[in-house]
Amino acid sequence: MKRRFTATLAMGLFMACATQAMAQAQSYPSGPMRIIVPFPPGGGTDMLARVLSQKLNASWGQPVIVDNRPGANGTIGAAHAAKTPPDGHAMIVVPSGFAVNPSVYPKLPFDSLRDLQPITQIAASPLLVVVHPSLPVKSIKELIALAKAHPGEINYASSGNGSPPHLATEQFKYMTGVKMTHVPYRGGGPALVDTLAGHVQIYFNALLPAMPHAKSGRLRALAVTTAKRFPAVPDIPSIAEAGVPAYDMSNWYGLLVAGRTPRDIYMKLNAEVVLILNLPAVKDRLAADGAAVVASTPDDFMAFLKREIAKNAKIVKLSGMTAN
């Protein structure tokens, strides 16, 4: 009798919780919303947050503010997002560095996969491998051959230790067995300026700032870093196509909420954001910035994050890189 009573009580509690969760999802969102950006205003992460803010406000009729909380390569904003109430009213847009931070900041005040719930991978874009015209190479195969003939003599730029260009170049070095010397800068702007001046020879740069210089001839574009050619630059081969099978590195952006947010709520948020991302105007806006919409499910984005964190951990360990 006691066992039957306990089972009945447990079932009752489960049904009550399920009913409450369904009611919360039906009324969601019930108040103002926030999109946390773990970087200063301006830049790709901030731009995406503002696009989502405007569209979510139009869809749901709730204020959606952008809350910039920069610092420590995005970890300050992410730590704040992890501590917000798990009700879906606070979100965070993160770049690909989110999956690097667990390896270069071993004492993060949050667990990237447990304390934050993935909603969707928003978009992705390749890096563009550009070289100064003084470097006598016109393809990835020629670059590999030259680097192997002159180990350590070729310099490559990055926008900082642990940045996407740093990770992408180290992965290239690991997969090809070449040795090149890293020259880290504090940001993409200074790295690009010195590549244009010929102070460094190679830069795995973001597509948008690099392409005008490749078109003008001030830099030479060799390849994109995604697994396949990128629609915005169809004439440029991928590194994998150019002789390094399985190479695939990209800049990407994702949306997350606090961990323990009820599934009904985060699935409702996912559905709305996916609709927004597939609007022609939004796709065109991202394409103008050199990115392609992904719009994945929460489960697919979680699986992607796990793969990215594991891949980046291997690169960080092999290269011995640390945070700036």
CB 161 within 8 A of CB 72: no
User: So what's the pLDDT on residue 46?
Assistant: 94
Say whether both 131 and 194 belong to one domain: yes
User: So what's the pLDDT on residue 43?
Assistant: 85
What SS3 class is residue 127?
strand
CB 321 within 8 A of CB 162: yes
Amino acid 179 reads K
Say whether both 135 and 212 belong to one domain: yes
User: So what's the pLDDT on residue 283?
Assistant: 97
Residue 6 included in any domain: no
Considering only CA atoms, which of 81, 129, 131, 68 is closest in space to residue 108? Answer: 81
User: So what's the pLDDT on residue 123?
Assistant: 97
Digit-coded pLDDT (tens) for 257-284 = 999 999 999 999 999 999 999 999 999 9
- Residue 228 in tokens: 């396949």
- How many domains, the chain? 2
Digit-coded pLDDT (tens) for 210-237 = 999 999 999 999 999 999 999 999 999 9
Phi, psi of 124, deg, nearest 5: -145, 155
What SS3 class is residue 320?
coil
Specify the pairing of strand 292-293 against strand 116-125: antiparallel
More confident residue, 161 or 52: 52
Task: Write the DSSP string, 197-209.
Answer: HTSSSEEEEEHHH
26 pLDDT band, cuts 50/70/90, is confident
Burial class (CB in 10 A: 0-12, 13-18, 19+), 313: middle
Say whether both 115 and 188 belong to one domain: no
CB 256 within 8 A of CB 100: no
Residue 17 included in any domain: no
What residues make up the domain containing 184? 127-224
CA 40 to chain centre: 16
Residue 9 included in any domain: no
User: So what's the pLDDT on residue 6?
Assistant: 60
Phi, psi of 200, deg, nearest 5: -125, 155
Say whether both 144 and 216 belong to one domain: yes
Is 22's pLDDT higher than 80?
A: no
Q: Which residues pair with 77 in a beta bridge?
A: none
* CA distance linking residue 53 with residue 216, whole number of Å: 36
Say whether both 154 and 108 belong to one domain: no
User: So what's the pLDDT on residue 135?
Assistant: 98
Q: Count of CB atoms within 10 A of residue 161's CB?
A: 18
* CA distance linking residue 125 with residue 290, whole number of Å: 6
* CA distance linking residue 39 with residue 46, whole number of Å: 7
10 pLDDT band, cuts 50/70/90, is low
Domain's final residue, options 224, 258, 275: 224
Digit-coded pLDDT (tens) for 50-104 = 999 999 999 999 999 999 999 988 999 999 999 999 999 999 999 999 999 999 9
* CATH number of the CATH domain containing 189: 3.40.190.10
Residue 324 included in any domain: no
Digit-coded pLDDT (tens) for 108-160 = 999 999 999 999 999 999 999 999 999 999 999 999 999 999 999 999 999 98
CB 49 within 8 A of CB 35: yes
Considering only CA atoms, which of 178, 60, 86 is closest in space to residue 129? Answer: 178
User: So what's the pLDDT on residue 321?
Assistant: 83
pTM for the model: 0.88
* CATH number of the CATH domain containing 264: 3.40.190.150
Name the percent of the chain lying above pLDDT 90.
84
Say whether both 132 and 112 belong to one domain: no
